[in-house]
Amino acid sequence: MSLPLAPCHMRRNARMTDFHGYFLPLSFTSILEEAKAVREKAGLFDISHMGHFMATGPGVRRHLNGLITSDLEAVPPGKCLYALLPNDQGGTVDDLILAASGEDEIHVIVNAGNRDGDFAWLRDHLPKSISLEDLSAGQIGLALQGPASSQIVSLLARGFEGMKRREARFSMGAANHLWISRTGYTGEDGWEFFGSEESILPLYRILSEKGGDLGLHQAGLGARDLLRLEMAYPLYGQELTPEKTAFDAGLDFAVNLRKGSFLGKDKMLEKRAETGRNRLTGFVLTERGIPRTHCPVLDPATGLQVGEVTSGGHSPRVGGGFGLAYMEPGFLREFEQGKEAGVEIHGKIHRARIHERPFVTGGLSGKKESAQLAVKSNGTADQGAKR
Amino acid sequence: MSSERRYTPTHEWIQSFGDASRMRVGITEFAQKEITDVVFVELPKIGKKVPQGAEVAIIESVKAAFSIYAPMGGEVVAVNGSIESNPALVNADPYGAGWLFELRIDNAAEWDSLLDEKGYQALLSSGTAGGH
């Protein structure tokens, strides 16, 4: 499916790719250069493929809160919330960003590949008194990400730079259902915008034409995936699936067990108590190689498979090949104590050792923001509208 | 004197530089753009014998791994050591400093099965290019 900005990307000679049926830029110059620009200055991503829903009606917060893992009722209007949408077995339908634009009006940002499934799931599980609207068609989504974002965003309007981390604003009226939030999925400061083509295209033009002087680079999905993986943020379909729970993926911070019950909670807790479930961990290769999704993880002592890579890549900042993998608990305990694992790439075993997550420091994972990371349990979103 | 450069449908090129039995192999401009940022290349060992069409090297890029196939059969007689330390050469100069390896050709007749410049350009513009 072609998205509104595709012709602009083609004029910039972007290398385009298919992502869940959407035609999007993979990169403009070089994936590594674009990722570096986002860590050091700023990058502009087209995220028009993200799904954008609006749920309205009396008690909509309470009804949605019964379907998600974190506490929407504890989040004031104008603040973004990261949550998982569990299925009735405690596995994961999707991960989401939610924000209230009014007392009885909630915006939800979902993954592109799950848009139809999420809509059907929410429609089936919300009462008929709640209206659910898909605002995605024809929408443009932009993510401005990087340490220079706060200067660059000032090109658009006064006041944006004063927004707090995870703050969301909504503009109604002429620019109907415009979402503006200080969020992102790169681990850097930044803003995300969603809205109709008429409302967002002028913002894209200003950023594209004037942002370059302030260090802004056009960036594609390749850099986006590398940046999120450096932060160990999950990607639905890889770290999160219908079988994997938030606890399996180590997303405990996104589950609020003190709030009222939610669909799938009991099953999630049952599965958390099971001792045999594989858990997600971070690793780096100690020799040259690039792990990729589905590469087997082996116990070098026995040669038996003890896990599988969900996402892998190469990062100069991490220092080589690295990734995330689900591993069997027995092996994982040894791995956590320093035992090496083998990752099979093109039929050859590459040695790997455990690595803390996130894989890189700086930006939002740096010292200044660690205080905010520590208060994750209050339920506010650390991660923005994603992918 | 260098020969004409010929191509495979899987986007390798092959060309001789003086000795017609010794051919240099690399990837095309189209391939380097598709592959994106090359991180390293698994080059074959010198002395390895490969039939035409066999996988002989792997290019690992940020995006994915890509197999490189032998445009003609032969023995690997040289590899480009400079791409070990500077893999970005494959992106920057795929027909020059970014070459991959050299083959001592077994069967010169295989040359006729390769695409010439015109044929390769036609393949690219038909949009049915395979391989990578």
- What is the predicted ipTM? 0.82
A345: chain B residues, CB-CB within 8 Å:
65
> According to the model, what pLDDT value does residue A75 have?
92
What mean pLDDT is predicted for residues B14-43? 94
What mean pLDDT is predicted for residues A243-249? 98
Domain residue limits, chain A: 6-50+136-230, 52-134, 275-380
> According to the model, what pLDDT value does residue A361 have?
84
Question: Is A32 near chain B, with CB under 8 Å?
Answer: yes
Q: Are A91 and A242 in contact (CB under 8 A)?
A: yes
Q: CA A267 to CA A202: how far, in whole Å?
A: 47
Q: How confident is the model at residue B1 (pLDDT cuts 50, 70, 90)?
A: low
Nearest CA among A159, A153, A157 for reference residue A175: A157
Is the pLDDT at B129 greater than 80, yes or no?
no
- Dihedral of the alpha carbons of A239, A243, A245, A247, in degrees to the nearest 10: -70
CATH of domain A52-134: 3.30.70.1400
| Tens-digit pLDDT profile for residues B40-82 | 999 999 999 999 999 999 999 999 999 999 999 999 999 999 9
Is the pLDDT at A366 greater than 70, yes or no?
no
Is the pLDDT at A387 greater than 50, yes or no?
no
Largest pairwise CA distance in chain B: 37
| Tens-digit pLDDT profile for residues A183-223 | 999 999 999 999 999 999 999 999 999 999 999 999 999 99
> According to the model, what pLDDT value does residue A372 have?
39
* Candidates B37, B65, B91; nearest CB to A292: B65
Question: Which CATH number among 2.40.30.110, 3.30.460.80, 3.60.20.10, 3.20.20.70 corresponds to the domain A275-380?
Answer: 2.40.30.110
Nearest CA among A147, A152, A290, A285 for reference residue A214: A152
> According to the model, what pLDDT value does residue A376 have?
37
Q: CA B81 to CA B84: how far, in whole Å?
A: 5
Q: How confident is the model at residue B126 (pLDDT cuts 50, 70, 90)?
A: confident
One-letter amino acid of A105: E
Task: Give just the sign of the alpha carbon dihedral B7, B12, B17, B23.
Answer: negative
Contact A30 B39 (CB under 8 A): no
Is the pLDDT at A365 greater than 90, yes or no?
no
> According to the model, what pLDDT value does residue A118 have?
98
What mean pLDDT is predicted for residues A358-366? 78
CATH level 3 topology of B7-123: OB fold (Dihydrolipoamide Acetyltransferase, E2P) (2.40.50)
What mean pLDDT is predicted for residues A15-30? 94
Tokens encoding A163: 């927004």
CATH superfamily, with its number, for domain A6-50+136-230: Probable tRNA modification gtpase trme; domain 1 (3.30.1360.120)
Q: Are A364 and A187 in contact (CB under 8 A)?
A: yes
Contact B62 A288 (CB under 8 A): no
> According to the model, what pLDDT value does residue A379 have?
38
Question: Is B64 near chain A, with CB under 8 Å?
Answer: yes
Q: CA A357 to CA B19: how far, in whole Å?
A: 54
pLDDT mean across residues, chain A? 92
What mean pLDDT is predicted for residues B77-96? 96
Q: What is the CA radius of gyration of chain B?
A: 14
DSSP, residue by residue, A318-347:
TTEEEEEEEE-HHHHHHHHTT--EEEEETT
Q: Angle, nearest 10°, between helix axes A31-40 and A221-230? A: 60
* Candidates B36, B58, B65; nearest CB to A31: B36
A275-380 matches A6-50+136-230 in CATH topology: no
Residue of B nearest to A14 (CA): B33
Q: Which helix or strand (DSSP H or E) is residue A37 part of?
A: helix A31-40
Q: CA A263 to CA A66: how far, in whole Å?
A: 6
Question: Three-state SS across A241-298?
Answer: CCCCCCCCCCCHHHCCCCCCCCCCHHHHHHHHHCCCCCEEEEEEECCCCCCCCCCEEE
> According to the model, what pLDDT value does residue A177 have?
77
Nearest CA among A160, A150, A64, A152 for reference residue A104: A64
Q: CA A300 to CA A353: how far, in whole Å?
A: 12
Indicate the SS3 state at residue A106.
strand
Is the pLDDT at A37 greater than 50, yes or no?
yes
B39: chain A residues, CB-CB within 8 Å:
290, 314
Give every strand in the sheet of A42-46, ordered side by side: A168-171, A178-181, A190-196, A139-145, A42-46, A216-219
Is the pLDDT at A145 greater than 70, yes or no?
yes
